[in-house]
Chains A and B, each alone.
Chain A
Amino acid sequence: MGFPYGTAPLVILLIAIVSGAAAMLSEATSPRADGRPDLIFATFSKEHAAAYQPAVERFELEHGVDVQLQVVSQRALQGRLQSSMQVGADVPDMVELLDGTLGVFAKGPVEDVGFVDLTEHVHREGLYDRLVTSRFGKWSSRGHIFALPHDVHSVMLAYRRDLVEDLGIDVSMLTTWDEFCRVGREVVTKDLTGDGVPDRYMIDLPADGGDALRLLMLQRGGAMFDEAGNVAFDNPAAVDVIDWYVRRVAGEDRISFPAGWGQNLAKAMTDGLVLFYICPDWRLKQFESDVPSLAGKMALMPVPAWEPGARRTTTWGGTGLAITKQCGNPDLAWKLAMHLYYDPAQLGERFAQTLILPPLKQAWTEPQIDAPSPVFSGMRVGRAYADLATQVPEEQSSAYMTLAVAKLSEAYNNALAHFQAGGEANLHEVARNELKSAAGRVRTVMERNRFLRDGAEIPVAAAAGTAKGVR
C-alpha cells in the first residue's frame, strides 16, 4: 500500500525531513560553538573591515584579547539591532552604523536607545575639539552622543577630465553654480551626432531629488532639523534649492541626467553621457573599482558655490561607531574604538586604502594624504578633501530623518510636477508652500510621539510582569 496522501506529499515530507536535518546539522557544526570572543565588532562595509584588520590584530596582541571582526549586510545588521531593541535579541558588542540609522533606534525614550551614551567619554578624551566638530551632530540624539564619527565626507565634483577638456571647458572658471549651469547649457545643446538627442549631460542629478537635494540644501546653509531637534527644512535655502533643482532636471534649462547607481552609473560614465558627478570621498574607491577604464581620465573640483566666495563643499553620508548596551566589556570596546578610529599613526595608511578622510585633524599631516592619485589624473585627492573638510556643514540626527527626507522629496516632486505642467512663473511660491506643508506633516507626526516628549512619564507596558519574559 502506498503513502495515503499520495506521492507528492510523500516527497514533500521527505524534503522536510532532509532539509530540516541539514539545517540542524549545519547549526550544530557551525563554528559559533567554540566560545564567544571578548569583543564582536560588526560593520556593513567590506572595505572598512579589510582596512581595520591589521589594526585589530595589533590591538589583540597588545591587550591579549580576542576580537572578532564581522562584515554583515547593512539591512541584516539594522534589522538585527532593531529587533534586539524591541524584543531583546543577541547583538554584537560594537557596530558601525550607517548615516541616518541612529534615528531609527532613537524613536523611544532616551534610556531605551540600545547604545552606550558616549557623551562623557568624548569630552573626557578631548575628542570634541580634536575632531571636525560638525560631525557629532549626526550621532547625537537629544544631546547625547551615541556613536563616534568615522569620517568627514566632504564633497567635490568628479568629472570626465578628458571630455571636459575636449569641450574646451576650464573648470577653474566654474566657481559658482550659475556659471556651471551656463556652461552646462552649452554642453547639452551641442548635438555631436546630429540626431536631435543630447549626447552629453553636464551633471548627474537624481530626477526624484534623492540625496542630492538635501546636500545642496546643506551647502546653501539650510538643514533638515535644527540643533534642538525641530523640523527645519521649510527654510528659505530649501526653497531656493528646489527652485534651482527643478529647472536643472526639467524644462529648457535642463543640464542633468539621472545616471543612477551601479552598472547603470558605470555605463553613463564610460559612455560619457554625463560629465560631472557629485563625489564625496567614499565614492572615490567605487569610481576606481567600478570604471577602471577611466583611470587617468577623471579629475576632481570643488563644488561650485551658491554665491561668489561661499562654501565650496557639502557633505553626504557617514558612518558612526556605537557600543551596544549588551556589550560585556564597554571599557575594552572604548579602547578599541579609540585605537581603530583616532590613532593618527594608523590613519595615513588607512586613507591610502579606503580614500576616506578621517575626522581627526591631526591625521591630515600624514604623507598618504598628499599622495597623487593615478585615477584622478595625478591629483592629491586627500589634500583636496582635507582642504574642504572644515567647511563641511553640520547635519543633525533625528528619529524622523527618514520621514523628513521623504517629505522633502515629496515637496520637490510636487514642485517639479507643477513646473512641468507649465507653472514656471510661480515656481518659487509653490516650492515654499509645498515645503511648508511637508514640514508641517513631519511636525504633526513628531508631536504625536509620546515617548519623545521631554519629561513625559513613560510607563512600561501594563502587563510588565509577563512582558519581561524574553529580555
Chain B
Amino acid sequence: MSNPTLTPTATIPQTAGIAAATAVVPKQQRRTGGGWRWKVRVTPYLFLLPYVLTTLVFFLYPLLHATVLAFFQTSGPGRRVFVGTENFTFVLADPDFRKALFNTCLFAVASIAVQLPLSLGLAMLLNAKHGRMKAFFRLAIFAPNLVGQVFVGILFAMLFTPRYGLFNRFLHELIGWGLEMRWLGDPALVMPAVVIASLWLYVGFNMIYFLAALQNVDQSLVEAARIDGADPWDIFLNVTLPSIAPVVTFVVVTSTIGSFQLFELPYTLLQGFGPNNSGLTVVGYLYNYAFDSGDLGTAAAVGWLLTFVILMVSLAQIRLSRKVSDD
C-alpha cells in the first residue's frame, strides 16, 4: 500500500546491503575549503530528507500508533473503547486466525519447497542454452509477472472451473483425472489451487535471480570437478550450490516475507476467503477485521502478531543459512 514497490517478490537484497556497508569518504573533505565542506556535509541530509520525512509520518508514527490502537476496539476511525489485551487474547484463541496462520505458513512452505526448487531447476536448464532460445524462454517464463495478483485471481478463477476450465481440461487430457475437480469449492483443494496459481505467477521471477547467480559460477571449478570424475549431482551440490548460496538465502528470505503477506491472489481468486475460510490468510484476516467490520484495533493487533512471526522466521532462516555456509 504505502509502499508500492514492496510486492512480494520485490524486496531488497538484504545480505548484499550489510556486506557493502563500507563507503568512501570524499577526499574533498580533507582537501578543500569551508564552503565545499559545508555543502558536502549538508547534501546527504537533503538527499535523504524525503525518505526521513515520509518514514517519520507514514512508518514510525503509524508503527507507534498501531501499538496504541492494538489495545482498543474501534468502530471505524471515529469511535474507540479501551479493551486492554483483549484483542490479542481473542485473536490468538480464534480458530479462524489459527486457520489463517496455518494457511499462510502452508503457502510459505509450499513457495519455498516447491516454487524455489522449480525456479532453480528452470534456471539451470536455461543456463545451458544460449542466444535467442534462451531469451525467448526467459521471457515466456517471466511473462506471468506482468500480471498482477488481482488479474491472476480473476483469470485463474475461470481456468479452475469444473468441467469447462482450461486447467481442469488440461489435467483431464493429461492424466485422465480432474475434469470435475472443484478447485475453488472444495476446502481441501483451495490452498493447492492458490499455490498452483502463484507458481505460475512467481516461478519466473526467482528464476531470474538464480539465472544471474548461475552465470557467475566459476566454470573452471565445474570443469575441474568434471575432469575429476564427479557426477552432475555432486557438481551441483559441491560446486554450484555453495557459490550461489548467498543468492539462495536472499531469495528464500524475500520469498518468505512475500508469502506471509499473501492476500490479493486468494481474495480475488475465491471472491472472498473460500469455503470454510480455506483460503483465508493472515493479511486477509486483518483486512476483514479492519475494513469490513471497522475494527482497526483488532487489525493492529493482528498486524503486530504477523510482524512477530515474520521476524522470527526470517531471523531463523538467516541464522540457519549462516550456519550452513560456516560448515
Contact = CB atoms under 8 A, between A and B. Distances in A.
Contact of A267 (B74, B78, B90, B164): B164
Contacts of A260: 161-162
Contacts of A467: 77-78
B79 A258 contact: no
B276 A264 contact: no
Contact of A409 (B86, B95, B163, B275): B275
Contact of B292 (A104, A208, A451): A104
Contacts of A409: 275-276
A70 interface: no
Contacts of B80: 459, 461-462
Chain A CB within 10 A, most for which of B78, B96, B162, B187: B78
Given A107-B293, A264-B164, A87 B77 contact: yes
B322 to A, nearest CB: 38
B73 interface: yes
B144 interface: no
A226 B293 CA distance: 22
A414 interface: yes
B61 to A, nearest CB: 14
Given A260-B161, A414-B276, A460 B79 contact: yes
B277 interface: yes
Interface in A85-110: 85-87, 104, 107-109
How big is the B interface, by class?
20 to 34
B294 interface: yes
A223 interface: no
Interface string A192-232: 00000000000000111100000000000000000000000
Chain A CB within 10 A, most for which of B90, B161, B185, B277: B185
A441 interface: yes
B185 A458 contact: no
B224 interface: no
Chain B CB within 10 A, most for which of A209, A267, A410, A459: A410
Contacts of A207: 182, 185-186
A429 interface: no
Contact of B73 (A112, A208, A267, A450): A450
A448 interface: yes
A458 B79 contact: yes
Interface string B58-80: 00000000000000011111111
Contacts, number: 81
Contact of A112 (B79, B164, B185): B79
A86 B75 CA distance: 8
A134 B195 CA distance: 45
B81 interface: yes
B81 A450 contact: yes
B143 interface: no
Given A108-B294, A264-B164, A410-B277, A258 B76 contact: no
B186 to A, nearest CB: 7
A413 B276 contact: yes
A448 B73 CA distance: 9
B277 A406 contact: yes
Contact of B76 (A85, A206, A209, A410): A85
A451 B187 CA distance: 33
A108 B79 contact: yes
A86 B161 contact: no
Interface in A57-73: none
A118 B74 CA distance: 27
A459 B80 CA distance: 7
B142 to A, nearest CB: 18
Interface string A159-177: 0000000000000000000
Give the 6 A-B residue pairs with the shortest CB-CB distance, closest first: A86-B76, A108-B75, A208-B275, A410-B276, A413-B276, A450-B81
Given A104-B292, A264-B163, A448-B90, 4 more contacts: A109-B75, A413-B187, A450-B73, A461-B80
11 contacts: A86-B76, A86-B78, A104-B292, A108-B76, A207-B185, A410-B275, A448-B86, A450-B83, A459-B79, A461-B78, A471-B78
Interface of B: 73-81, 83, 86, 90, 95-96, 161-164, 182, 185-188, 273, 275-277, 292-294
Interface of A: 85-87, 104, 107-109, 112, 206-209, 258, 260, 264, 267, 406, 409-410, 413-414, 417, 441, 448-451, 458-462, 467, 471
